[in-house]
Amino acid sequence: IFSFNSLKSFFSFSSKLLLTNTIATIGNNIYPSLIALFYPMNQVAYFNQAKKYQEIPFLTISNTFRSVAMLILSDINNESERMKRVVSKMIKSIAFIAFPLGFIMILLAETIFYLFFKEKWLSSVPFFQALTLAGMLSPFVFIFNELFIAKEKSAYFLGVEILKALLLIVLIIILLPKGLMALAASWVLYILATLLISLILSSKLVKYNLLNFLKDTMPYMLIALICSAVSYFTTKNISPPILYITINILIITTLYITVCKALKLEMIKEIEVWFTKRKTNK
């Protein structure tokens, strides 16, 4: 049955999402525009190159989990406790993948850029490493966005984007004169602040707060960081680029999985259950 109230509600929800996406698009594209205005073209190229390649893995992670989150959370949007458990599991899943991947990218950045782009693009490396810190956090933000949409709280989603836009403007005003590296650092602060705002709103919706987030993510982050540090000191005297990359990936991956398994972290258990089911089905 056609209802003007339903139409009005739908229009209100959709218009807020449209406005949110518009603000987000402007925010995401403001950096390249400002850099092009205030910095030499070679610096712009270095920054854009770093941003482009840093985004690829984390956008892939974000889009993968967003599609899953949208389906699951929409089905249980009236069950807050269950939504909290689902969000927690997704946060752990992202942490399990994003942190080791991010630290590997930071550790191997210079070698990878030299191997594939040669010396002329090595100036992109510091930007790439800084932006990777933001990249590791960005998939979490997308999950909370899907939570707000699933709970039909488009106003929350819009509010986050407005606060983000205001924060971005403040950071740009403060850090633009201090150089491109400061701008890259401001992007990290921007994503971190966005995550904190999202957690505050999430705590109101499903009681998933900062403490829950730290409990879910810190083990994976610390293990990935320690494994990367061990790998760095173990391989720092290896010269051939391909060998250096290969050994670092092997060391970090092996150590990471071994430590996670020894500590009996949830995601390792989930993977083991998945493999067991696959073997059983065969």
Flag whether 39 is in a domain: yes
Query: What are 109's two structure tokens?
Result: 């950045």
**What are 165-176's pLDDT values in tens digits?**
778 778 877 877
Q: Which one has a higher pLDDT value, 202 or 173?
A: 202
State mean pLDDT over 127-133: 94
Flag whether 192 is in a domain: yes
Flag whether 220 is in a domain: no
CA 182/CA 120 separation, integer angstroms: 22
CA 60 to chain centre: 10
- Among 20-34, 45-59, 133-147, 226-240, the least confident range: 20-34
State mean pLDDT over 256-271: 88
For residue 117, give its domain range. Answer: 4-208
- Write down how long the chain is: 282
Average pLDDT of every residue of the chain: 83
Q: How many domains is the chain partitioned into structurally?
A: 1
Flag whether 92 is in a domain: yes
**What are 25-34's pLDDT values in tens digits?**
666 666 667 7
> Which residues touch 253 (CB under 8 Å, ≥6 apart)?
100
Flag whether 103 is in a domain: yes
Flag whether 238 is in a domain: no
| Of the ranges 16-20, 80-84, 209-213, 271-275, the best mean pLDDT one | 209-213
State mean pLDDT over 76-87: 88
CA 140/CA 91 separation, integer angstroms: 6
What is the percent of the chain with per-residue pLDDT over 70, rounded to a whole number?
82
Residue matched to tokens 């401001």 = 186
Flag whether 23 is in a domain: yes
Flag whether 225 is in a domain: no
